[in-house]
């Protein structure tokens, strides 16, 4: 029987024109099979992401196997350095979901591969919509996915990672990663996924809005410092108040993915991790394995970092924490009982983090709002201008050198 799996495998043997025809057809067959309009009994086809990785595992170049995707970034970099520009682009276009997510591959090549992957995802989503058969809610979500693929695929955007599987994962870069003197990576929290990556309402509660606000603030505060900001939604975050939000399983997996991202960044410029909500759990679990170039970890609205204190994080990076006056996270018990809870409150002076002011930042999602003192402090940490930060009320020392004046 003709299946999505067999159609998708043909992608690696057929010319581009034929692939453009087969991809929508593959989705149509998959929808029909799911709806029961074809023979029952077959297992659901693997995701396009999984199929592409399987094809890469069997692929060769000049008679040699392609490197495993989990090869350390240095090895991946060496592999691509030995290829011609044409060979690199061929791999990016034949295996976009592999190359676009491959730590150590040239950054601009990853951007190109992800543009290809997004174009294919949009084409497949259009075909799925054309088949129809959705509930009203399903039709709305399908259209949202298509819109997201199309906007992310805009040639001006720099997509560092993309996986359409499930709720989806994505990361975007603002600025030039290869020349930036300072790099900031934003790790968002609960409900982070492809559809929530960018919002019109609640703009600065979503990763893209956070990154845009931070990037602008950095340039306003330190115009002489070239910066890059990564909006990193490249992990499976918990949904809402699901039990997974109270355990560390997804954060553990996210920490591994975060470390892979960090080791694949070009250059050696200092990196600051800015971790919001459940994202601070991810950062806490990655802390003792961070590369030396990560100089700062700043957490905002944290439920805990799975450590009793700063020393327990096992990192040489400076650790900063902030929480707004009306953030509901302050009312959540900072406990760890078996697998539940994330431990001590990083914004408690006893934890040992450098406590930053938030000014009039509102609620749990207002830390990146333009004009908020919290955003100013995060931008100062990200640019390395840490002697200029303002401490939390009642805290007289938080900057590395000159003490901060207590706020009144």
DSSP string, 87-134: HHHHHHHHSHHHHTT-TTS-HHHHHHHHHHHHHHHHHHHHHHHHH---
CA-CA distance, 379 to 373, in Å (whole number)? 10
Phi, psi of 277 (to 5 degrees): 55, -130
Q: What is the pTM of this model?
A: 0.88
| Domain-wise residue ranges, the chain | 8-145, 166-388
- DSSP 3-state helix, strand, coil percentages of the chain (rounded to 5)? 45, 15, 45
Tokens of 202: 């609640």
pLDDT tens for the chain, 408 residues long, are 333 333 333 333 333 433 443 344 344 334 433 333 333 334 445 789 999 999 999 999 999 999 999 999 999 999 999 999 999 999 999 999 999 999 999 999 999 999 999 999 999 999 999 998 889 999 999 999 999 999 999 989 999 999 999 999 999 999 999 999 999 999 999 999 999 999 999 999 999 999 999 999 999 999 999 999 999 999 999 987 777 777 878 999 999 999 999 999 999 999 999 999 999 999 999 999 999 999 999 999 999 999 999 999 999 999 999 999 999 998 888 877 777 767 899 999 999 999 999 999 999 999 999 999 999 999 999 999 999 999 999 998 887 754 443 332
Residues 52-62 have pLDDT tens digits of: 999 999 999 99
How far apart (Å, rounded) are the C-alpha atoms in residues 48 and 230?
25
- Which pLDDT score, from 0 to 100, does residue 401 have? 56
CA distance 297 to 108: 27
Token digits for 241? 């108040």
What pLDDT shows up at residue 338? 72
Pick the CATH number of 166-388 from 3.40.50.1820, 1.10.10.60, 2.30.30.20, 3.20.19.10: 3.40.50.1820
Q: How far is the C-alpha of 95 from the C-alpha of 55, rounded, in Å?
A: 8
Angle between helices 85-94 and 107-131 (to 10 degrees): 30
pLDDT at residue 334, as a whole number: 82
Closest CA to 255 of 191, 303, 306: 306
Q: Can you read off the two tokens belonging to residue 367? A: 């830390």
List the one residue out of 274, 350, 276, 339 whose CA is nearest residue 312.
350
Would you say the C-alpha torsion 267, 270, 275, 279 has a positive or negative sign?
Answer: positive
Q: Which pLDDT does position 341 carry in this prediction?
A: 67
């Amino acid at each position: 029987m003709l299946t999505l799996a067999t159609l998708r495998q043909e992608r690696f043997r057929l010319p581009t024109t034929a692939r453009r025809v087969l991809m929508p057809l593959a989705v149509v067959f998959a929808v029909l099979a799911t709806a029961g309009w074809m023979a029952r009994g077959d297992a659901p086809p693997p995701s396009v992401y999984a199929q592409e990785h399987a094809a890469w595992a069997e692929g060769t170049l000049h008679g040699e196997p392609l490197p495993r995707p989990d090869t350390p970034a240095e090895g991946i970099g060496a592999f691509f350095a030995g290829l011609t520009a044409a060979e690199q682009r061929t791999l990016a276009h034949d295996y976009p979901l592999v190359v676009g997510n491959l730590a150590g591959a040239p950054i601009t090549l990853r951007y190109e591969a992800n543009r290809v992957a997004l174009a294919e995802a949009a084409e497949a989503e259009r075909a799925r919509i054309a088949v129809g058969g959705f509930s009203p809610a399903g039709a709305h979500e399908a259209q949202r996915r298509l819109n997201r693929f199309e906007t992310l695929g805009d040639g001006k955007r720099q997509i560092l990672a993309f996986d359409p599987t499930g709720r989806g994962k994505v990361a975007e870069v603002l600025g030039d990663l290869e020349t930036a003197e300072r790099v900031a990576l934003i790790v968002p929290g609960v409900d982070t996924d492809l559809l929530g990556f960018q919002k019109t309402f609640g703009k600065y509660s979503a990763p893209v809005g956070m990154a845009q606000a931070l990037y602008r603030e950095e340039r306003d505060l330190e115009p002489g410092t070239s910066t890059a900001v990564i909006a990193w939604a490249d992990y499976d975050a918990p949904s809402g108040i699901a039990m997974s939000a109270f355990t560390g399983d997804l954060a553990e997996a996210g920490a591994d993915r975060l470390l892979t991202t960090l080791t694949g960044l070009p250059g050696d410029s200092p990196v600051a991790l800015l971790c919001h909500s459940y994202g601070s759990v991810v950062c806490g679990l990655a802390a003792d394995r961070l590369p030396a170039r990560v100089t700062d970890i700043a957490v905002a609205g944290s439920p805990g970092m799975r450590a009793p204190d700063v020393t327990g994080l096992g990192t040489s990076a400076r650790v900063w924490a902030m929480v707004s006056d009306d953030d509901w996270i302050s009312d959540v018990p900072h406990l760890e009982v078996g697998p539940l809870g994330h431990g001590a409150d990083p914004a408690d002076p006893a934890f040992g983090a450098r406590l930053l002011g938030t000014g009039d930042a509102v609620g749990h999602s207002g830390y990146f709002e333009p004009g908020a003192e919290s955003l100013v402090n995060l931008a100062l940490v990200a640019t390395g201008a840490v002697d200029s930060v303002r401490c939390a009320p009642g805290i007289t020392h938080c900057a590395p050198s000159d003490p901060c004046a207590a706020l009144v």
